[in-house]
Every structure is written in structure tokens, then in C-alpha cells.
Chains A and B, each alone.
Chain A
Amino acid sequence: MSEIPSGPAMPSAVPTTPAAPTPVLQVRGLVKRYGRVTALQGADLDVEAGTIHGLVGTNGAGKTTLLRIVGTVLRADGGTVSVMGVDALGKPSSARLLLGFMPDFFGVYEDLTVYEYLDFFGEAYGLAAPARAFRIPELLSLTHLEGKAASDVQRLSRGMQQRLCLARALIHRPRLLLLDEPAGGLDPRGRAELRDILKGLAADGVAVLISSHILSELADMCTAVTIIEQGSVVASGSVDTIAPAARLRSLSARLAGDPAPWLEFVAARPGVAGAAVSATGTLEIRFAGDLAAQARLVAELVEAGVPLAALEAPRALEEAYFESTQGLVT
């Protein structure tokens, strides 16, 4: 870029040969207060390259505040935020070169066409005209807006505007993508498309930090999750590691036939603390064990001739969420 100073090299904030892989995003002890309300109280977070990291929490838990601070649009009251080694709180302009931010509520410039919109933001990020001319068709293809380059932004559907906003956040090829409730207002097809796009970006090495209320949506795409409540991180890690393995869970088994004769047999299996027939005719099993133990239980039941038609278990992320939080807000 033209802004690189000539002459002797200046000390760089980015380590050129890191000894060990560093997370793309490192948040330590982040604090944010709104008057007497503490929105974030010492939050820590690591997001690795090539991962989709979910940020889960109730309304008011501090997710948006955290994303806005990392996105350099909100001042923090304490802590550090490092994006690829760049101090995002001290040098926000430098950090913005490395991150793309899509807020939860966003508008678009309705007096522009789709191409002009992306061209404007490309220039705002300092991309030269040839680079923009190359990058914009690439993004339109990625977000399935190929045929809309000349369309007025105001004529796009909500889902298309959402994808355009995602393209806008990606215009400068950020290493970290921050998405605050990106699927809000999207139909199921739109959500599936968004999921595929994000998976593709992660496969290209982009770190994605995404907040959402919709746990099933996050469970489908996230490789890691951070659960936040009352401004504090209460659990963080891969979905499997944060899911409680040893505690009792309810498994719901649907049998082809009357489940009553099998109650005693099922209750005697390893890990099963109890079994009962529900009002809807399903066999409710109180079970303690990890996924491997659950697989062994299913094999035993089938081997014994239990007419098992389906077995439903609560999703790991949902379990972890409800286990870790009490629904409190700051």
C-alpha cells in the first residue's frame, strides 16, 4: 500500500516468525462499564485461525459489547484486545485492516448500486482501484449476488442486503470476521447459505467470531464456543470439550410398539439411572455418560431386540449452554 513508509524498516507490532501459533484474536480481562452497570467484567477469549467461534449468551450478557469493542467501534474500560499481535485498543486503525465487522443492526446506502456500495467500502479500506475491480466480482460470486452488481441496494431483499453487508465486511480480506447475530431475519435457505459461506471462509484460514441466540445454528457450524453470562465468560472451548459428559441427561427413545415391556431391561443397562414411558408413548431414559457410552447403550438395545425406531438426545451445545448459564443479565 502507498502508506508504507520508505526508508529503514520500523519496528513491527506483528511478529514475523512466531515461535508458536498465536490465536488470531486474543482478549484478556476485558472490562466495559455503562455508568454503574458493568457489561463486561474481565472477559477472556481466544479465537484461532480457520475456526468458526460461536459467542453464546442471553440478551444483555455482553456479546454485542464484546464484539463492538473488538470491532474497534466502542471504547473499553480495561483489558487488552490483540488481533494478530496488533493492539486493537491502542491502534484501532491498524487493527481495522485485519478485521471485518458486521453489526447486528445495519443499514445500507440505498442511493448506491451494489457495485458502488462495495467499491466505496473498498476505497474506504484503502484498496486501490485495480484491487477493487478484482475483489468485487469475487465477493459477489461468494455471496451469490453475481447478477446484482448494477442493482440499486434498496431493491435487494433483506437476505440479499445481509449478504451484501457480509461482502462489505470481507472486501479487504480480513483475517478475523466479527458477525453479530448475522442470521437474524434470514429465512432457512438464507441461513444455510450463510453457514456454507462461513465454512468456506474458515477453510481459507479466516477466523470467524459469530454471536447468535440460535444454538442449533451455531452447533451446525461452530468449531468452538464461548458462553458468556453477566459479562463474564463461563465456558469456552470446542463444543465437545465444554459439553458436560458425566451428568445425567434425558434420552428420548421412540419404539416400534409398546415400550412398557422393555422398561426393566433398559433400566438395568450401564449408565441408565431410570426409565419411564412418557404421555406421548416415548421411552424417557435418564442416562449418564459420554457419546461413546450412549453408542454402546444403543447397540445393546438393538442387539437385545428392542424395536428402537429413533433416539433423540439434547444437542451438546444446548446442554452446555443451559448447564453453564442461569439466564442472568447485567
Chain B
Amino acid sequence: MSDSVRERDAGRERWNPLRGFVPLFRRELKGQMRGRRASVTFTVYLALMVVVLTGVLLVADSAGSKGDPTVGQVLFIAMAFTQTALILLLGPVFAAGAIAGERERQTFETLVSTRMTSGGIVLGKVAGAVGFLVVLTASSLPLMALAYVFGGVGPSTIFAVYGWDLLLMIWVVSLAVAASSLVGRTLWAAVITYVLVFLAVFMTGFLEVVQMSLRAAAQDGAAQDGAASLIFLYANPFSGLWELAIPGVREEIGLEVALKSFALSGGAWHAAVSAAALGLAVWAVSPLRRRWGRQNG
């Protein structure tokens, strides 16, 4: 590029909020895939899935359920819940160092001194970690497909569960990247993300129980408004999975009138939280943001 062209570009450039996304995504994915950590993760992940698969088959065999189509359903549900749990456990491992790791190894300034935008950096990091998790979960697709062979589970159910898991990957990685951009240490970013995931998984259930008890006491045994009473469960990462992995389960337990879809409402909730976390991360990554009295160099 000649000097005159460069100077002209510098004087009149088009604003591109995602500049740098593609190279960073490529670099992140390459970095995640290299080294021992990736091979260990793949091995452990697939080994756990195989253990669950074998366990369900052994139990079904001992219970004399051979050939029963419910075996396929049970197998699928067990593997789907295991996969989602592993995503929630592994997501922070691969995303907590996204920004904090750059600061720790002193590459952050060289990164932000390029023409990449904060949005490009954050989304590149998120896409890199999510990309790795997608490849990881795709590796278990042949195991999941066994449920289809056993019967009782259609392809649409399998893909719906993978769709839900993709949303959860984006959610947990966004939380981890936001934590990573706000704190200087990868370890702390991971701890914060795990606390948030723990709250979402366990505290929502606990709050639901508390709320239901309080309402039951207040209404003195009168019929409850199901939609209102289960509000905390929308924020639970497993609620949508429960609905998608077991089609018709809401109708079976009589919630179809009172409840909006866990998958849709819960999906909207997780998408909104992801967007908020990404916005926070973009703000925190900007080197020229105003720091409220904090020393930064």
C-alpha cells in the first residue's frame, strides 16, 4: 500500500464495528485446536458420553427392556443432559482466558493497538470458543444418532437439542468473556462464570421451590397460576432442554395451557443475557474507555 493511499484511507475510513472479527476467530480456533488441552478434552468428553451410553444400555438390558423403543428415548435424554452439563462445565475453561489471558501474557496492548475494533475482538473471541465447543459436541453426534437407531427419537428432536446447546454455548461463553474482560485474571474469570452458571442451574430451582411454597401458603391450597409460579425456571439452562429432549412432556404433566414454551421463553432469556454480557465485554475491552478514577498505566 502506498503512503498516499494509506494516508487517504486514514483520513476517510468507513466505520466497521466488527473489524478484526475474521482473523481473530481464525486465530482463536487454531489456538484452541492446538496443543494437548484439545486432545485431552475430546478424549474425556467422548469417554464420558460412551460411559453414559454404556450405562444406560446395561441398565436397560438388566431390566429386560431390550427392543423397547423407550430405551432409545432414555438413552437420548441421558446423553443430551450429559452433553449440556459438559458444555456448561467446559465453556468457562475455553473462554475465561479470552481477554484476561491476553492481559496475563501481555499481548492485550498489541492486539488493541491494531485496527481491530472492540466488537471485532469480543465477537472473534466468542466465536472462537463457541466454534471449538461446536466441533466438540459434533464429535458426539454419531453416539447421539444411536438413539435414533434404537427408535423413539426423531432427527428433529436431535437437532432441536443441538440447537438449544448452541444457544447455551453462546450464553456461557458470553458470560465467561464478559468476566474475562472485567477482571485481570483467567482464574477469577472462570470462578465468576462458574458461580453464575451454578446460580442459573441450582438457584433458579431453589427459588422456584421457595416461591411455590409461599404462593401455596398464601392461596391456602387454591389452584396456582402455573405460568407465574414457574417463572424462575425459564432462566434455568436445563428447562428448555427438558422440553426439547422430551417432546410432549408439558402436555403430559398438564402445563400446556399455563406455561409458555420453556424453549422459546428460556431461549429469549438466555439470548438477552448473552447480548448484555457481550455489550459489557465490548465496553470493557475498549482501551480508550473512561475509567472511573482507575489507574491503568
Contact = CB atoms under 8 A, between A and B. Distances in A.
Given A72-B287, A173-B1, A1 B106 contact: no
Interface string B109-137: 11111111100000000000000000000
B20 A124 contact: yes
B3 A124 contact: no
Interface in B19-44: 19-20, 22-24, 26-27, 30-31, 34-35
A68 B14 CA distance: 25
A94 B110 contact: no
A75 B290 contact: yes
A4 B293 CA distance: 38
B113 A101 contact: yes
A6 to B, nearest CB: 10
Nearest to A3: B14
Interface in A86-113: 86, 91-98, 101-103, 105-112
Nearest to B117: A93
Nearest to B20: A124
In order of increasing CB-CB distance, the 6 nearest A-B pairs are A12-B11, A123-B23, A107-B105, A107-B106, A13-B11, A124-B114
A13 B7 CA distance: 9
A41 to B, nearest CB: 16
B107 interface: yes
Given A86-B10, A103-B110, 17 more contacts: A1-B5, A4-B9, A11-B12, A14-B11, A34-B296, A65-B297, A73-B112, A75-B289, A85-B7, A85-B11, A94-B9, A101-B109, A106-B106, A106-B109, A120-B26, A120-B27, A127-B1
Contacts of A283: none
A126 interface: yes
A168 interface: yes
Contacts of A72: 113, 287-288
B12 A64 contact: no
Given A3-B16, A124-B24, A106 B6 contact: no
A10 interface: yes
Interface of B: 1, 3, 5-14, 16, 19-20, 22-24, 26-27, 30-31, 34-35, 105-107, 109-117, 287-291, 293, 295-297
A156 to B, nearest CB: 15
A107 to B, nearest CB: 4
A85 B7 CA distance: 9
Interface of A: 1, 3-5, 9-14, 34-35, 37, 64-65, 68, 71-75, 84-86, 91-98, 101-103, 105-112, 116, 120-121, 123-127, 131, 165, 168, 172-173, 175
A103 B6 contact: no
Contact of B7 (A11, A64, A84, A127): A84
A14 to B, nearest CB: 4
Contacts of A175: 3, 6-7
Contacts of B111: 124
Contacts of B116: 124
Nearest to A109: B107
B31 A97 contact: no
B22 A111 contact: no
Contacts of A64: 297
Given A73-B112, A126-B19, A68 B297 contact: yes
A4 B109 CA distance: 27
Given A34-B296, A75-B288, A112 B106 contact: no
Contact of A96 (B3, B24, B114, B297): B114
A94 B107 contact: no
Contacts of B5: 1
A92 B288 CA distance: 9
Contact of B113 (A14, A71, A86): A71
Nearest to A127: B1
Contact of B10 (A94, A102, A124): A94
A98 to B, nearest CB: 5
Nearest to B110: A106
Contacts of A5: 12, 14
A98 B1 contact: no
Given A12-B11, A34-B295, A73-B287, A168 B110 contact: yes
A13 B106 CA distance: 33
A19 to B, nearest CB: 16
A124 B115 contact: yes
